[in-house]
Structure 1
Amino acid sequence: MINRWLFSHIDNSALIVFRVIFGFLIAAEAIGAIFTGWVTRTLVEPKFTFNFIGLDFLQPLPGNGMYYYFAVMGVFGILVMIGFKYRWSMIGYTILWAGVYFMQKSSYNNHYYLLLLLCIIMTTLPAGSYFSIDVKRNPLLQKISMPRWCILLIIAQLWIVYTYASVAKLYPDWLDYTVAKNLMAGRAHYPIIGSALQEHWTHIYIAYFGILFDLLIIPLLLWKRTRLLAFYISIFFHLFNSIIFQIGIFPYLSLAFSVFFFSKEKIHHIFMKKKKFYTANEVIIPTYRKILLPVLALWLIIQISLPIRHWFIPGDVLWTEEGHRLSWRMMLRGRSGNTSFFIVDKNDPEGKRQVVNKSEYLSKKQLRLVSSRPDGIWQFAQKLKKEYATKGKDISVYVTSKVSVNGKKYKTLIDPEVDIANTKWNYFTTNSWVLKYN
């Protein structure tokens, strides 16, 4: 049964079309990051970046190195699109994008994580087996079918993402429109639509349509009777997000996924009429079956488990941020804070406190990270400790931090009596110096 479900071959037109679109979009993501100034603001101008904790070796290349880095990524994206050395090009882009993703958190976005997962998945799929330079150079590589698991994996991944995104919105600040109101307040200056975005009905739409869309879009696309309507709704939803939130390629990538939900015949007819349509429906058990099944199971277990880990960590994740990343908690909260760092030389008998001028070290984006997020605060304290160690000084770093979530009352985030520079970061549970409230 499982062999027939996973290894029955189906027409591969959808995967080939998606590869072309995906390659174009990831090339646009890389090249666009250069020309929009994202690389400059995020990776070139800062003196250092806030990498994922434990990956301190990941820092931007010096000089103009990051521009070349992203240019190479753009080339890899184009090679994926045209199918030249597809597998190696996809692996190359994946490695470079993983470097960017884990290198910095000041421009963190859940969509960046999704792109990393999709890149990993695409390295495993036979997406270069038709309409590619590889096939033109070696016709023996041509295939008109693929095993069904290829499309099932992508659909399962999307279902996990959307479902968790919907469930995460079921909390008071989202349901009473507080988050939507705060999101739209910063967009009042938009021409034509700015005033409409401040209306109460707009906030209701954003709050409840967001929940329903995320929860139902995958089932509606899977069901033939509602598929076309769901597709039209998707176009409206993703274009709205693109215009209002300006989140790069991701609304268009989300629309590109539609090729996996429409019938194989329709996708073939619309995009690849010259290609022979595969109808044999053969069940071909691959030699890699014994490896594939546990790998797929492990992948899905990890994807299902990561977003719920915050339930096993003390404190409210909206406040502590512990368990927030890699959990599809998208646009759920706004954080603002006032944080001060104080250095104490351990060899100073008077224990004088020296205030740190954060602006000497941090960019504007980094200042926002360090002002309200515990991991950024901890990493900056470690940075200060290392800098003073090079001067022969052993220091303590204390922090006073007042933080507001979703415009609520400011509260103390960090225990001001704890030497943050000399504490260890707890990866898997809570950090006691992050204060909790009932």
Structure 2
Amino acid sequence: MLKSFLFKHMDNSGLVIFRIFFGLLCFLESVGAILTGWVKTNMVNPKFTFSFIGFEWLQPLPGNGMYFYYAVMGVFGLMVMLGYKYRVAIISFTLMWSASYLMQKTSYNNHYYLLMLISSIMVFMPANKYASLDAKFNPEIKSLSMPQWCKWVIVLQLFIVYTYASLAKFYPDWLNTTFIENLMRNRKDYPVIGEFLQQKWFHYILVYGGILFDGLVVPLLLFKPTRKFIFIVSIVFHLFNSFVLQIGIFPYLALAFTLFFFEPKTVRNIFLKKKTLYEDSQIIQPKYSSFFITLFSIYFLFQIGLPLRHHFFEDDVLWTEEGHRLSWRMMLRSKGGTISFRIRDVETGETTRVNLRNYLTDKQKRRIATKPDVIWQFAQYLKEDYKKKGINIQVFVRSRVSVNHKPYVTFINPNVDLASIEWNPFKHSDWILPSKQ
């Protein structure tokens, strides 16, 4: 019965138009990273980047190589949009974007992760079967339909994202508007709306409206009587986030996802008026159907389980950061910190303070103060750097952190030699001092 449901065919208008929007957004994200200076700040200027642990071998190309790298990704985005050599283009973009995502975490944004996941899913989609150059040059592949799983994998992925985003907001500093108030205070100088954003009543609307929107948007989009209403709300919600919070392409990608919730006939009537509407509901099970179902079942079990891992670590994830990434904990807290590194020559006992300017960019210095894994990685980097000089060192850290503008508290145990510590992703790092906030 499950196979009959997943491989039952439906009109593919939603997927076709989504491919066009998705490819365009991939292009804009790639080219925009160059034009806004993001590539320069995060990939070109740093002497080295803080990659995801285990992916240290992924480092930016030397010189101006990363400009070329992102330009090529932009080309692949355009190819996806046009449906030209689609499979090659989407696989190439997915691999390149995933590599760029894993090679640096100084700039971390949930939509970078989401883009990696969606582009990976799009690899399996028959998104080039209509309104594409592939279908024009090879009419044999042209099709008016797609299996229903193409819709439901996107719906399920979005449900996971939004549900965890909603649940993560149930903590005191969100519910009492502390975080939102601090966030909006930094936007006081915005023209026209700056003062409006400081209103307490508006903060409560953002706080509880955010919880309700994230928790209900997918069910309300699936329910036909509420679909148009929540779509209008989505436009307002995401455009507000785009203009006020400035979070890149995510608001527009989120709006593009709504194509999978509207009736194919509606999408066709708006965007593909010359297209014949598919209404046959034929069930076509490919030979690899069982493997396909198993693959996506494992994928979604992983997606459901990964955001829960912070519950298995000691202390508050807002403080320790353990289990924070890849968990849809979006726009939840602000952190500030101060940090200094001291190295001790094991042979002479001499202790000196590290001048971070000799190693890190300004942005990296701001990030390293509050991220335990980044602190540990830099300690390892210092150890290897001095080892090349024939010097065996210990690395000690003095760090103080504030969460949501609360008083600064000592973050890292200053008596622990981080250079001698092994990283264990499945165990709490006890050199992170307990939260007192």
TM-score (norm 2): 0.99
TM-score (norm. length: structure 1): 0.98
Distance between the aligned counterparts of 1:243 and 1:201, measured in 2? 20
- Alignment of 1:354 onto 2:352: yes
Map of 1:415 onto structure 2? 413
- Alignment of structure 1 residues 255-334 onto 2, 5 Å: 255-334=255-334
Partner of 1:388: 386
Determine helix, strand or coil for the equivalent of 1:344. Answer: strand
* 1:258 CA displacement: 1.1
Provide the identity percentage.
Answer: 54
**1:287 is matched by which residue type in structure 2?**
K
1:371 maps to which of 358, 369, 372: 369
Question: Could you tell me which residue of structure 2 aligns to residue 154 of structure 1?
Answer: 154
The residue type paired with residue 164 of structure 2 is Y
- State how far apart, in whole Å, the 2-side matches of 1:168 and 1:141 are: 44
Aligned to 2:166: 166
* Residue of structure 1 equivalent to 2:28: 28
SS at match of 1:372: coil
Opposite residue 133 of structure 1, the aligned amino acid is: L
Which amino acid in the other structure matches residue 43 of structure 1?
A: M
- 5+ long unaligned stretches in structure 1: none
CA deviation string 1:271-298 (max 9, x = no partner): 1111111111011111111211111110
Q: Structure 2 CA distance, aligned partners of 1:369 and 1:425?
A: 19
Deviations 1:110-137 (A, max 9, x none): 1110110001000110001111111111
* 2:205 counterpart residue number: 205
C-alpha distance in 2 between matches for 1:153 and 1:172: 33
Partner residue, 2:433:
435
- Please list the CA deviations of residues 179-237 of structure 1 after superposition, one character each: whole Å capped at 9, or x if unmatched: 10111111111111111111112211211111111000001111000000000000000
Structure 2 stretches lacking a partner, 5+ long: none
| Letter aligned with residue 332 of structure 2 | L
SS in 2 for 1:112: helix
SS at match of 1:146: strand
Cα deviation, residue 173, structure 1? 0.5
**More displaced 10-residue stretch of structure 1: 280-289 or 234-243:** 280-289
CA deviations on 1:120-178 (whole Å, 9 max, x unpaired) are 00011000111111111110011111100110000000000000000000000000001
Mapped to 2, the partners of 1:67 and 1:366 lie a distance apart of 20
Q: Distance in 1 between matches of 2:357 and 2:108?
A: 20
Partner of 1:245: 245
Paired with 1:154 and 1:396, the residues of 2 have a C-alpha distance of 48
In the TM superposition, residue 436 of structure 1 has moved relative to its aligned partner by 1.8
Q: 423-432 vs 298-307, which deviates more?
A: 423-432
- Three-state SS of the structure 1 residue aligned to 2:129 is coil
What CA deviation, in whole Å up to 9, does each residue of 1:38-86 have, x standing for no partner?
A: 1011111111111001111111111110000000000000000000110
How far apart in 1 are the matches of 2:102 and 2:132? 31
Contact 2:3/2:289, CA 8 A, preserved across alignment: no
Number of equivalent positions: 436
**Matched residues in 2 for 1:403 and 1:388: separation?**
28
Q: Does residue 400 in structure 1 map to residue 417 in structure 2?
A: no
C-alpha contact (below 8 Å) 2:8/2:281 kept by paired residues? yes
User: Quick one: distance in 1 between partners of 2:191 and 2:321?
Assistant: 34
2:165 and 2:330 in contact (8 A); partners too: yes
Residue 266 of structure 1 aligns with an amino acid whose one-letter code is T
CA distance in 1, matches of 2:31, 2:435: 44
Q: Which whole-Å deviations, capped at 9, do the CAs of 1:318-377 have from their partners, x for residues lacking one?
A: 1000000000000111111111100001011xx232011112211121111111110111
Q: What secondary structure is seen at the aligned counterpart in 1 of 2:434? A: coil
Q: Secondary structure at the match of 1:339?
A: strand
What is the CA distance between 1:437 and its match in structure 2? 3.5
Q: Distance in 2 between the 1:143 and 1:287 partners?
A: 19
Letter in 1 for 2:387: A
Bigger CA drift: 425-434 or 148-157? 425-434
Whole-Å separation in 1 of the counterparts to 2:142 and 2:37: 40
**Which secondary structure state, in structure 2, belongs to the residue aligned with residue 401 of structure 1?**
strand
Counterpart-to-counterpart distance in 2, 1:3 and 1:365 = 50
- In the alignment, which residue of structure 2 is the partner of 1:69? 69
Name the amino acid aligned to 1:290: S
Q: Distance in 1 between matches of 2:234 and 2:323?
A: 29
Aligned-partner SS, 1:341: strand
User: Is the contact made by 2:17 and 2:271 (CA closer than 8 Å) also made in structure 1?
Assistant: yes
Distance 1:222 1:121 in 2: 21
Distance 2:427 2:101 in 1: 23
SS in 1 for 2:369: helix
Cα distance per residue 1:245-280 (max 9 Å; x no partner):
111111111111111111111111111111111111
Residues 19-55 of structure 1 show CA distances to partners (whole Å, capped at 9, x for unaligned) of 0010011001000110111101111111111100111
For 1:210 and 1:367, locate their aligned partners in 2 and report how far apart those are by CA, in whole Å: 31
Matched residue type, 2:431: W
Q: What residue in structure 2 maps to residue 344 of structure 1?
A: 344
Cα separation, 2, equivalents of 1:34 and 1:437 = 39
CA distance in 2, matches of 1:80, 1:221: 26
CA distance in 2, matches of 1:424, 1:365: 26
Amino acid at match of 1:135: A
- Secondary structure, aligned partner of 1:124: coil
Report runs of 4+ in structure 1 exceeding 6 Å deviation. Answer: none
Distance in structure 2 (CA, Å) of the matches to 1:206 and 1:298 = 35
Aligned residues: CA RMSD: 0.9
